[in-house]
Amino acid sequence: MTKIQFLGASGAVTGSSYLLSSENDSILIDLGIFQGEDDKGDINFLPLSFDVKSLKAVFITHAHLDHCGRLPFLVKQGFIGKIYTTDATAEIINISLLDAAKIAWEKKGPLLYTKEEVQEVCDKMESIAYDTQLTVGSHSITFRDAGHILGSASIEISDGSQTFVFSGDLGNTPEDLIQPTENIVKADIVIMESTYGDSTHPVEDVLDIIQQEISQIEKTNGVLLIPAFSIERSQEILHRLGHLIKDNKINSSIPIFLDSPMAIEVTEVFKKYPNLYNSELSKDISPFEFPNLTLTKTGDESKSILETKGTKIIIAGSGMMNGGRILHHLYNYISIPSTRILIVGYQAVGTLGREILDEAKQITINNQNISVQATVTSLKALSSHSDQPKLLNWLKAIQGVRKVFLVHGEQRQRINLREKIMAETNIKEVILPLIGQEFSLS
């Protein structure tokens, strides 16, 4: 009998982790950190609640920290098996984990793990290509392209009698950079994300909105801050800015700074995998480069951005504004009325980004209260997650589904998506698991 235990992202958005076990062996899908409001009581520092040494293998859907950020805990607790993921994901995980460790060290906060433990994680990684079946113990595993970020995957797992599908995070197809989300043909049970399970992404002209934001700062000699996730979103913004410059729609003399060492490294990974680009991007000779772009790798280079007077654009991490170099720029610019902030990604409850998105009049940075005078714009069409219609279409394409578990979403989103699934499909069991719950999959 196969069982599943939900170890995270169940009644919450972050901390994705699921233990699939049978009489003979067990495997783990994802091991992410809890972020924002989900991170209560130092939950990330608690020992893993399962027998790590009994794991046959670990499978990682993609390189966002809420799906891979606790992997070093496996090493700490004695895991000796393999960690399987795609080539691109393996490279980006290494960058992500090292960056998270560096930020914790710089903030003089508690360290989840060391650089040495990150290296041990990377030593255990083995790559698996999309659409290639792998047998591990009593399970057969196939990775499918989830279309979410570079290297992201949905995972099909068969125990010989049933097929289980873990959606991972499903992309907002068609994406600007990567290939579309791959449909799954058949499955018995689906563990499915629900981040935007209650909404439809608005139809927005992304290039036009970015162009308008830049036009406004030109009029006021202001600064445009774009807090962006280092993986995918920063590269997407670069690509779109490059197009606006090449098409003479924005002034090519405006200084543009990519102020994120991690985003700079991830951009280099992108360049290594043109086979993962979509058909449009593959025609672009230099999709992430243009003359007025400055890459600021060091802390001193980042601080020197202040010395560039007048109109400028700063793309900086982190995407939810809970850390990283964006805090430095918010500290210096958010109280200036000519500043504009363009939010281009999901802002979890409990993050500084969510406060700013919800029109906070004051925020706290470095223990100082700062007045918010900047104009804030949110670009929802740039989400890398499927919205409700796309989630439903992905699920409807899978034949034979008799049970769905909705994860990776706040409760309102899960409830709304469950109602839609039950109204529009023949699936009668749609379960909203909570962290720690275990279910039989017979």
pTM (2 d.p.): 0.93
Check residue 151 and give left, alpha or beta (phi > 0: left; psi -120 to 50: alpha). Answer: left
| pLDDT surpasses 90 at 343 | yes
Round to whole Å and give the CA distance between 271 and 215.
30
Residues in the chain: 442
| pLDDT surpasses 80 at 316 | yes
Domain ranges within the chain, ordered by starting residue = 3-199+384-440, 206-382
**238 to 96, 231, 233, 256, 432: CA distances (angstroms):** 20, 12, 9, 9, 38
109-118, 258-267, 286-295: least confidently modelled range: 109-118
Round to whole Å and give the CA distance between 287 and 153.
23
Q: In the prediction, which pLDDT does 290 show?
A: 93
CB atoms within 10 A of CB 201: 17
User: May I ask the CATH architecture of the domain 206-382?
Assistant: 3-Layer(aba) Sandwich (3.40)
SS (H, E, C) 118-181: HHHHHHCEEECCECCEEEECCEEEEEEECCCCCCCEEEEEECCCCEEEECCCCCCCCCCCECCC
Q: In the prediction, which pLDDT does 345 show?
A: 86
Rg (CA), the chain: 21
Band of residue 10 on the pLDDT scale cut at 50, 70, 90: very high
Q: Which two tokens stand for residue 186?
A: 């058949």
On average, the pLDDT of the chain sits at: 94
pLDDT in tens, 184-211: 999 999 999 999 999 999 999 999 999 9
**Long-range contacts of 333-336, Cβ-Cβ distance < 8 Å, separation of 24 or more:** 333/223, 333/225, 333/374, 334/225, 334/363, 334/370, 334/371, 334/372, 334/373, 334/374, 335/370, 335/371, 335/372, 335/373, 335/374, 336/222, 336/223, 336/373, 336/374
Round to whole Å and give the CA distance between 32 and 44.
9
CATH 3.60.15.10 applies to domain 3-199+384-440: yes
Band of residue 163 on the pLDDT scale cut at 50, 70, 90: very high
